[in-house]
Amino acid sequence: MHARLRQSLRAAAFLTAGALLPPAWAQDAPQPLVVTPGNPDVPFEPARPTPLQGPRQPVAPGRLSDAPIEVGVLNEVDPSVVGLLDDPHGGLGTAMWQGTPRARVEMLLPRLPMGTVSPVMQDLSRRLLLTTAVVPAGAPVAPTLLGLRVERLMAGGRIDEVNELLRVAAARVNDPAIARADIDAMLLSGDFGGACQKVPALMQGDPNAYWLKTLAFCRALERDAAAVTLATTLLRDQGQVGDEAFFALIAALPAPGGGPAVTTLVDPTPLHFALLRAANQPVPPDAVAGAQPAILRAIATAPKADATTVPLEAIEAAERAEAAGALDTATLAEIYSAVSYTGPQIQQALDTAAREKGPRTNALLYQAGRIWTDPAQRAAALQAAWQAAKADGAFGTSARVNLASLRQITPAPDLLTFAPNAARAALAAGDVPLAWSWLELAAREAGTMTPQGANTRAINISAQLWPLLQLADPIGARQRSASRTETWWRELPRAPEGPEADSRALLYTLFAALDAPVPNEAWQSLLLGGPLLKSGFVPAPALSNSLAAASAEKRVGETVLLALLMLGDVGPDGADAAALTQAIRALRGIGLEKEARALAVEAALGHGI
């Protein structure tokens, strides 16, 4: 046996001795987050991630019936079959992997993007990972397909769904990915006692540096300086020297007075987060920008040292977690509401927004939009919130969290200039009827006269919004004006240049992908007046070919997986027009018409159309 492995096992035996029971400090459950909001009578208690649970145990059988007993061979059931979604409830079909080799699924699934801000991609990823489906044929590459699914769900911050998925599993699964997800979820939820009770056995079976680090954390919580020193020495001897934040935090725990605060943490892990909590250290400002969705959710909802203050990092983490689909919008709204502002501060919200940007200002504008009842004032607050969000690439999050306030505004002629952003925000939040109400306002005003003549502003707004609503709701558009659905492109400006030309080209491309192409005449000005070569994120030829073949052969799971890989982490906002076309057509080819059209709307909004 290799000398380093023998050393690891000897250290494991020493470190795990007597570690099978949680220490006294771990027997008290972590306290929930309670933050005093603007209304002190309503305490703020957002749900925190729950630790993973073991799979459901079989129920003891009762008395056997007197019916004849049939004897046969019971085949072993692959636990990877389990899921939470069936066909009537959003599943992609029990046969979604039919025709796809297992090796292909297991090689590509770990690359599934889980940090995208696209709601359509988040929904498709969730359904792909949670559908109850027959395991694809072929020899396995990974320990279990279930473990790969669990790992991706954890990467997306969907801890509750992982918990439920494992609960319905038929039996406990021996898979390192599931064991890692189990411990990570406990660390993120603050269940240090549960994690420390399980880690020793895991370390004895797998001398992975992750288990050694986690066990060192458990020993540090017990103030066992000797064990911590042994563990850190062994880790450095194994070459685990790049994680300076871990070594700094682990050294601070056994020390009576703690240690110096960690001021930078670019890529935090669940163990880093647990160390910060145990050491009573704040989350470094740079930790939020590079954190994965699960970490963002934990930062946003963790107990706070000062129950009357919501830290800036928590608000920013909540915004990012909501954008990634790891935190529900209602919880972000609660966090915004928990930031305390005085009456004068609310009244000066627009002035503040003109000078300052960031999460606290977003919370201020959210509260102003909820409190102000005058339609023009409320519209101004929402306009400012959306404008700031667009600059940060967070328009979707702002649209969703402020949707309730937008619904309180009745479209009226004096709010015509508000209509373009109101309709786009409604679309981004998924409320198509609300978006139509603002387009219909512009259409009505387009038929009125002003002292200067025709109401050109209303005419232009109506022309800009019509193609967006037609992408989202083609049946509704045709019912309103069958002729306009054919000639909408004629109403747009005749000679677009620069970014406007790029937006026009993408819009035409999206309509073509949805089998509603504009005539060659519409392309003429773009062909003669714009660049003939464009740069962007172009998918690999192998990916394009495989996606087209999978869609043509109705391999549903593979098509969804490859389409998501085609769009990648940049999502529809940053994907190349050709990649968007292929993804949209592939999804339509397997019957996901609604999802394909929603993807087109996201792409249009993301590109400023």
DSSP one-letter code for 488: G
Q: Which two tokens stand for residue 379?
A: 């519209």
pLDDT digits (tens, 9 = 90+) for 385-407: 999 999 888 999 999 999 999 99
Q: How far is CA 224 from the centre of its chain?
A: 39
| Percent of the chain whose pLDDT exceeds 90 | 56
3-class SS at 35? strand
The per-residue pLDDT for 530 is 66
**Type of residue found at 554:** K
pLDDT digits (tens, 9 = 90+) for 228-252: 888 888 888 877 767 888 888 888 7
Q: How far is CA 321 from the centre of its chain?
A: 6
pLDDT digits (tens, 9 = 90+) for 293-350: 999 999 998 876 665 678 889 999 999 999 999 999 999 999 999 999 999 999 999 9
Phi, psi values for residue 454, rounded to 5°? -65, 150
The pTM of this model reads: 0.85
Residue 486 CB partners (closer than 8 Å, separation 6+): none
Adjacent-strand bridge partners of 209: none
The per-residue pLDDT for 561 is 98
Q: Give the C-alpha separation, 229 to 216, whole Å.
A: 9
The per-residue pLDDT for 422 is 98
Q: Give the C-alpha separation, 40 to 36, whole Å.
A: 6
For residue 180, which of 322, 536, 205, 167 has the smallest C-alpha distance?
A: 205
CB of 411 closer than 8 Å to CB of 438: yes
Reading phi first (left if > 0) and then psi (alpha if -120 to 50, else beta), residue 140 is in beta
DSSP codes joined into one string, 521-580:
HHHHHHHHHS-S----BPPPHHHHHHHHHHHHTT-HHHHHHHHHHHHTTTHHHHB-HHHH
Helices (H), 392-498: 395-401, 403-407, 419-428, 432-446, 456-472, 474-480, 482-487
Radius of gyration in angstroms for the set of CA atoms belonging to the chain, rounded to a whole number: 28
Angle of CA points 386, 387, 390, to nearest 5°: 85
Q: Give the C-alpha separation, 34 to 144, whole Å.
A: 40
Instruction: Evaluate if residue 74 carries a pLDDT over 70.
Output: no
Reported residue count of the chain is 609
